Structure 1
Amino acid sequence: MGRDGDILIYARGQDSITLDPALAQDEESNKVISNVFEGLVRFKPGTTEIEPCLAEAWRASPDGREWTFYLRKNVKFHDGTPFNSGAVRFSIERQMSPPFTGKTTYASFAFGMVDKIITPDPYTVKFVLKYPYAPFLHNLAMPAAAPVVSPAAATALGEEFGQKPVGTGPFCFSEWKKGKIITLKANRDYWGGRPEQEKLVFTVIKNGRLRALALKLGLADIVDGITPPDARYLEHKGFKVLKKPGLDIHYLGFFTDKEPFNNPEIRKAVSMAIDREQIVSGVLHGFAFPANGPLPPGVLGYDPEARPLPYDPEGAKEILARNGYADGLKITIITYTNPRPYNPPGGEKVAAALKEDLARVGIEAEIKAYPWNQYKEALLREEGNSFLYGWINDNGDPDNFLYTLLSSSQIDNGLNTARYKNREVDFLLVSAQQETEPVLREQMYRRAVKAIMQDTPWVFLNHSLRIAAASPEIEGFEPHANGSVLLNFARKNKK
């Protein structure tokens, strides 16, 4: 158990923006939120599997339209008020029609499929959905939007709630010195058992090299966002280094409704011309690992045996010649200038590497780069023939990758940027949305992924690699691929 004076110091590169889960849309906010607040369910440590949290059990109706949750009893918020079904309903309705000025980022994504919420008694909550939606459980595990807030505190504090959060989690909010530190203290009455540490301090050290040095000197217990060279150095010195694939995908997309990439053979030729391993090691400097399809490891439907088209420049040349491009081909790749979590050096550097690879097979690529917001407008205009892009998953469910980005129903809203259409894939993705049995869902997603990879609407480049390190005395630290960290099980073994 925690002892007075036990402090766990977590060093990161930036401060949180808000501690109100209704408004949070950044990882640094969610790192703290996931220790102060809880949802009805949560991700098992280090995975995208769902386990009980504030709900002890749940069931879905056979048609997938009604989800009933049975809540834990005798749980209290940090302000002493009781947790119950009314608090769950309040937390969701607060976001769907916010009483304060501000944009509730994830409310429509997390709860847009909810028709109504019924609370038949203090410890039962029933969600009636507008349509069957199997990923609903994963939405309820998200650090943003899904956590339950204290109705009393949220009502009393209004817009200030994000500065003085009150949840049911293992740690209570204590102090926030903006830009410097956020201090949490152990919730001694936590239903899951008092945390191992008495205090949890999130401190900001902007420079990654200095964060690694702080760990080495004992000024921090855990650090994240460090470089591969620093990680190797710390590992050599006996520190624990944890590498986690990110819930994201980085890809070269094709406008499949425009020449020349309305021909799947030309898409395959481009894919075979690109040396993805070299891009990961030479351009992304080890901050990533090659993708073997549209899903990252750990997500339902991911197939470790899947293999994308191999790097084969000679084979690419043969395909081009067979399709009337023996003398070469000119294309335009549009890209973004900004760094992205799945591409820290930025789009221009990766695009330059792609240009070199393509030139070797006779494809002349013009690169056009834009700042992020202008880039998204160029995508909607379908500028050029192809584009460098990526996606960061919100809820750990394959639906948020595959349906969102590759269903033909997502073309008009601009999310299916490749304008990819495949009737079999559409059918499988809608069926998987409505199937609540995980084994059957996985089979549907694997079939869909196989068909997508055959069609090659994207060149699957890489996923991010998140690197954190901890002192040798720390045990029980397991970062999540979505960037959140649950630290009540982390403990410092005294020498």
Structure 2
Amino acid sequence: MRTSPTTVRRALAAAAGAALAVGLFTACGSDGDTGGDADTAEDFDFSCPERTDGEPQIDEAANESQPFVFGTPGDPTSLDPILASDGETFRVNRQVFDTLLDADCTDTVPGLAESFEQNPEGTEWTFHLREGVTFHDGAPLDGAAVCKNFDRWANFKGGFQSPNFTYYYSAVFGGFAENDPAMGIETESIFKGCTADGLTATISISQYTSSFPGAFTLESLSIISPLSIDAVADVTLPAADSPLPEYTQTVGTLAGTGPYKLQDWNHSEQEVTLVRNDDYFGEPAHVKTLIFKTISDETARRQALEAGDIHGYDLAAPADAQALLDAGYQVPIRGVFNLLYLAYTQGHAPLEDHAVREALSYAVDRQRIVDSVLPAGGMVATQFIPPSLEGYSDDVATYEYDTDKAKELLAEAGAEDLSLTFCYPTDVTRPYMPAPKDIFDIIASDLEAAGVTVEARPITWVEYIPTTRSGECPLYLLGWTGDFADPYNFLGTWFAAPSTEWGFDSPEVFDAIAAANTEPDAAARVDLWKAANEAVMEELPGLPISSSPPSIAFAANVYPPDVSPLTREDFAQVSFTTGS
């Protein structure tokens, strides 16, 4: 993406076995085309937008003197990538820190490693690092620095093992060198070790997993300076509910290798300021100063753009897109790689009853959500992975909207007077969920029409994820934007093992996902993923609702970055232009 020629990127992508089919998709231009409705998987566009209007006249003076300000829906949580699991944190950190491999669209491409290879069993991954790369603090990148990061993560103790902090590491490697029973992690880590030899690092795991090589692109697994690791070596987190350490909230301790360096985090103003890294190993960032400013309300973000207070913002409301285009703003629409769902937490009676979960699923008019809330190009989801991934199955159990059938099933289950608390997030928009309250209102009205009493529980976003993960919400809305093109990144993220957020224990589901994830033969793995997908939808832990293409807005005098279906925009590509 940043420095690699297209031929190198595609060669590595082929070696990685990227699963997405890429078609032709052009970002929205001044003609106002925001795409058509997608009613079936065949109509759905999963490809990656590309800028097609040629290189504009760049305003180099503005790039040097004027900060580029981007409005975000929420604050970042941590400047230490390993202690993060949310998109707003990743948006900032990916400009500062680099990973061994990178993502171009949904292809796996070179990052800090210019090449890699694996052994036939997929249990040894050897990375050949770029020469001459230095961290922002002057430390050199080499194999020892890479191994120091992996060894640090593997040997986390206490609260550092909590999914509240190291969610992605646990999801990828299963556990730690010594699991802390208080953190609830029972699975054995597949990480065996990391060995270094000059500019080479070899990571060994105990068994094949389809998460690799894609997981090496995860922002949580960004490589930080060995001097930074030494500086935080004595920091502890006693418990899962401990506050994040001070070093994660202030600039000055952590150094990466990215095109930008951390300069300031003003918590009161909700601004993070980055400055260009002139020693970056790739093409330097065009704009010298980059500011991410939190504006949680989507209307306020639009108004800030219109007033010239910011130069771009994420998750433009579908209703605003056309008006912005007509006014001369740029509104490129990302390719689609996300999923919104309604979760049924089976720790709450009577949601452990399959007939009740079926009834709730028949009660929801998902097409109404797609038609009235989502941007053009959205579609109803029938399963917990997008149609673009291997393992998507045409044979999953489906639940078409049918209020009468929902009532019949509730009656048969003896749940005619069912009352359920329904949680939804406030003060936030997500790529898969552009208007949480509107979506909640539609689903709640559908459930009430089927005879279910809904008790609304709005929760601020900062508390929403911990609350839903703890199993407190019988019903809740949530979703996922994929990190890399493998079914495990969706199905495995949710259903690989028992968890409080879903509250079910199905050996059939867990075994089906494990079988697919550990099968090294690609052809056999497709069939196993289909079987896993079908097992999940038979269990019906929740109702897949939709997938949709999130948009992003920029001022007319901005040459924007390539927009990413993974929401991984590289702001080093941004420039001011001489246009109005």
TM range (shorter): 0.7 to 0.9
> Would the aligned equivalents of 1:110 and 1:140 in 2 still touch at CA under 8 Å?
no
Change (3 A) 1:442 1:214: farther
2:242 is aligned with 1:152: no
Aligned counterparts of 1:473 and 1:297: Cα–Cα separation in 2: 36
Change (3 A) 1:213 1:336: closer
- The one-letter amino acid paired with 1:475 is Y
> Would the aligned equivalents of 1:289 and 1:465 in 2 still touch at CA under 8 Å?
no
- What does the per-residue CA deviation read over 1:452-471, in whole Å, with 9 as the maximum and x for residues that have no partner? 44564433223476432012
Describe the SS at the equivalent of 2:475. Answer: strand
2:92 is aligned with 1:17: no
1:69 Cα offset (Å): 1.7
- What does the per-residue CA deviation read over 1:372-401, in whole Å, with 9 as the maximum and x for residues that have no partner? 589659947xx9xx7345344674442143
Which residue in 2 is equivalent to 1:459? 543
> Would the aligned equivalents of 2:315 and 2:434 in 1 still touch at CA under 8 Å?
no
**Larger strand proportion of the pair:** 1
- The one-letter amino acid paired with 2:365 is D
Change (3 A) 1:218 1:58: same
- What does the per-residue CA deviation read over 1:400-453, in whole Å, with 9 as the maximum and x for residues that have no partner? 43234345xx23x435434456x4x55542232113465654443234324544
Change (3 A) 1:243 1:436: farther
Which residue in 1 is equivalent to 2:141? 83
1:352 Cα offset (Å): 6.1
Candidates 156, 162, 166, aligned match of 1:105: 166
1:147 Cα offset (Å): 0.7
- The one-letter amino acid paired with 1:336 is C
- The one-letter amino acid paired with 2:329 is F
> Would the aligned equivalents of 1:420 and 1:457 in 2 still touch at CA under 8 Å?
no
Query: How many residues of Structure 1 are paired with residues of Structure 2 in the alignment?
Result: 476
Which residue in 1 is equivalent to 2:422? 335
1:309 Cα offset (Å): 3.3
Aligned counterparts of 1:448 and 1:99: Cα–Cα separation in 2: 33
Which residue in 2 is equivalent to 1:204? 294
Change (3 A) 1:92 1:364: same
> Would the aligned equivalents of 1:77 and 1:167 in 2 still touch at CA under 8 Å?
yes
2:313 is aligned with 1:253: no
Change (3 A) 1:184 1:436: farther
Candidates 30, 39, 45, aligned match of 2:99: 39
> Would the aligned equivalents of 1:37 and 1:168 in 2 still touch at CA under 8 Å?
yes
* Between 247-256 and 32-41, the greater mean CA deviation after superposition: 247-256
Change (3 A) 1:282 1:435: same
2:131 is aligned with 1:70: no
Change (3 A) 1:260 1:304: closer
Describe the SS at the equivalent of 2:282. Answer: coil
- The one-letter amino acid paired with 2:286 is E
Aligned counterparts of 2:512 and 2:159: Cα–Cα separation in 1: 40
Structure 1 gap segments, 5+ residues each: none
Describe the SS at the equivalent of 1:405. Answer: helix
2:316 is aligned with 1:220: no
Candidates 511, 514, 519, aligned match of 1:430: 514
1:54 Cα offset (Å): 0.8
Which residue in 2 is equivalent to 1:444? 528
Structure 2 gap segments, 5+ residues each: 1-57, 176-188, 234-245
Candidates 353, 361, 367, aligned match of 2:454: 367
CA RMSD of aligned residues (A): 4.1
* Matches for 1:364-403 after TM superposition, within 5 Å: 364-368=451-455, 376=468, 379=471, 387-392=475-480, 395-396=483-484, 397-403=486-492
> Would the aligned equivalents of 1:172 and 1:187 in 2 still touch at CA under 8 Å?
yes
Aligned counterparts of 1:175 and 1:378: Cα–Cα separation in 2: 33
- The one-letter amino acid paired with 1:387 is L
> Would the aligned equivalents of 2:482 and 2:490 in 1 still touch at CA under 8 Å?
no
The alignment-based identity, stated in percent, is 24
Change (3 A) 1:11 1:121: same
1:228 Cα offset (Å): 2.6
2:108 is aligned with 1:53: no
Describe the SS at the equivalent of 1:272. Answer: helix
Describe the SS at the equivalent of 1:309. Answer: coil
* Between 483-492 and 82-91, the greater mean CA deviation after superposition: 483-492
Aligned counterparts of 1:328 and 1:109: Cα–Cα separation in 2: 36
2:571 is aligned with 1:487: yes
Which residue in 2 is equivalent to 1:471? 555
- TM-score of the two chains, using structure 1 as the length reference: 0.79
- TM-score of the two chains, using structure 2 as the length reference: 0.69
1:40 Cα offset (Å): 0.3
Aligned counterparts of 1:359 and 1:181: Cα–Cα separation in 2: 42
1:42 Cα offset (Å): 1.6
